[in-house]
Structure 1
Amino acid sequence: MNHKRLNRDQWGFQYYPYYQMRIDHELFHGTVCLIRLTDGEKNYWETPKAGRIQVTGGGMTWLELIPDGTRRVITTMYFPDGTHDPERKHYPVTADERYQPSIWYIDIIEGIEQDEDGITVFIDKYLDVIITPEGEVKVDDRDELDAAYASGELSKEQYDAALAEGEAILQAYGGDIRGLDALCAAVRKLAEERIGAGEPITMCREVREWRKTQGES
């Protein structure tokens, strides 16, 4: 199973202020990470109903949640604040007009750990769930999960647990996309308030290296 850092360094962002925090609130208990995409080209995925789905580009914000008691990472890929792609003809009214999601990508995981920089790392279990504001719900990469089980990489217990987590995600969010939107918007607001109050950027090595190129310590 692949180990992936929540600062999403494998995407090759140049500079991206990354915040990582623990939130314990009546709305949410768990790990919360926020990435600000300060620059970069727009990249898109294609979906049947929503059409082109923007996933990267300057001004976007990614919010990542790992709720306690689950084996999932919920990533909300937000448009620049207060906007959405006008090509999205069936884009709904969102829970908070400032925070307009392009897509939710939910990784099913084995667990989490910390790396030498203190960055949360999740152990990816192949299976994913993709949800769009327009109502698309798709289970993705089932073939990769099946292949990992067939090869012996995953035990029967791990395989069944991944399927069970996927089903739990579908039950929780598949029929209540507005509720998912509202939850993520509320948690993002809590995170933004912490950042506004001085929550420091988490200094992963990519951020440190970029700041050195700018003459910053």
Structure 2
Amino acid sequence: MNDLKLKRKYGDRADWLRVVQREFIQDFFDEEGFKGYVTLLMVIKITEPLYVLYRDKRVCIVDEGYTWLQHFPEGARHSVTTMFNSKGEVVQWYIDICLQNGIDNGRPWMDDLFLDIIILPTGEVFNKDTEELELALSSGIIAEEQFNIAISEADTIKKQIEANEFDLLHLTKIHKERLELQMSSRQF
């Protein structure tokens, strides 16, 4: 836990060494239900697949042919990454609770506030890194205000998920198809 700090994470994941060949595109969407940047990372070649464990479920989240779609909603305190397998099926939705989203030299980013919510296609919901958030507060890495922002945002999103009102889950396939179309048209 020595590397516990607020981290700025970029949508292009340029520092991700596991992915050795990729295609990437991003765009700004301003439409009903969503306003912000959306990035699409197509994984072509990797050093090794990446698996995560949720209770008794082992889930592959990165392999060759996988696609990661990330939403950076303007003015929101969360970012949503949707992982698709090589067949185009959703593997998981990964919701990062963040202090803010922004853009720097054309690169969308989010300042991660430790808490995460994972949703599997089965409807199962997992909360992650609550202990990291508490440790960040007790260590002085974040202030009580940031702690409260993270808890409040996570609670709001969980309620929206339970009520089937977290709209980004319904927009992921549409936005993925739109960016894939843009990507294919720029290659010719």
* TM surpasses 0.5: yes
Q: What residue in structure 1 maps to residue 123 of structure 2?
A: 135
Q: What residue in structure 2 maps to residue 212 of structure 1?
A: none
Superposition pairs for residues 1-217 of structure 1, below 5 Å?
A: 1-12=6-17, 13-40=19-46, 41-48=48-55, 51-80=57-86, 83=87, 99-116=88-105, 118-176=106-164, 181-198=169-186
One-letter amino acid of the structure 1 residue matched with residue 11 of structure 2: L
Indicate the structure (1 or 2) with the bigger Cα radius of gyration.
Answer: 1
Deviations 1:7-32 (A, max 9, x none): 22343111211112101122422110
Conservation of the 8 A alpha-carbon contact between 1:106 and 1:129: yes
By relative contact order (CA 8 Å, sep 6+), the higher-ranking structure is 1
Conservation of the 8 A alpha-carbon contact between 2:79 and 2:101: no
Conservation of the 8 A alpha-carbon contact between 1:32 and 1:63: yes
Distance 1:180 1:133, change over 3 A: farther
Separation (CA, whole Å) in 1 of partners of 2:115 and 2:152: 11
TM-score scaled by length of structure 2: 0.85
For structure 1, list consecutive stretches of 5 or more residues without a partner in the other structure.
84-98, 200-217
For structure 2, list consecutive stretches of 5 or more residues without a partner in the other structure.
1-5
1:125 is displaced (CA, Å) by 0.7
TM-score scaled by length of structure 1: 0.75
1:5 is displaced (CA, Å) by 1.6
Aligned residues, how many?
A: 180
Q: What residue in structure 2 maps to residue 209 of structure 1?
A: none
- SS of equivalent to 2:186: coil
- SS of equivalent to 1:59: coil
Q: Pairwise CA RMSD of aligned residues?
A: 2.2
Compare the two structures and name the one with the higher strand fraction: 2
> Percent of aligned positions with the same letter in both sequences?
29
